[in-house]
Amino acid sequence: MVIDENLLNKVAEQAKASPRLRMNYNFHESLDAKAQRMLNALEVGTVLPIHRHLHTAETYVLLRGQLDVMFYDETGREIERIYLDPLQGQFGVHIPKGT
């Protein structure tokens, strides 16, 4: 499978039409797969709730657009913010499990 402009545009259009303003395009064959590989289209206005993956790491690689990735302590206070923008050389972030 080629990840090209057509695929990005298709998933972005689905995200724009979604009430949550985001859409996954899964590369893994089942939810039981050891690795969850997906393309996520996040449109302006979508909100990803604060969450933690206890057993797996997570990696974001931005292909286009900009994204703030925020980290919180146990009380919900923001402790770090990473701004991603591939046009400025910030392409992604790796988040260790439990973070």
Do the bridges between strand 58-61 and strand 38-42 make them parallel or antiparallel, or are there none, so unpaired?
A: unpaired
pTM, two decimals, is: 0.84
Q: What is the pLDDT of residues 21-42, one digit of tens each?
A: 999 999 988 888 888 899 999 9
Give me 48's structure tokens.
């990803």
Residue 85: pLDDT band (50, 70, 90) is very high
Per the structure, how many domains does the chain have? Answer: 2
Please list the alpha-helical segments (H only) found in 5-75: 5-17
Q: Does residue 39 share a domain with residue 23?
A: yes
Query: Rounded CA gap, 17 and 21, in Å?
Result: 7
Domain region containing 73: 49-99
Is pLDDT of 66 > 90? Answer: yes
Q: 36 in the Ramachandran plot: left (φ > 0), alpha (ψ -120 to 50) or beta?
A: beta
Q: Does residue 64 share a domain with residue 39?
A: no
At 34 the pLDDT is: 80
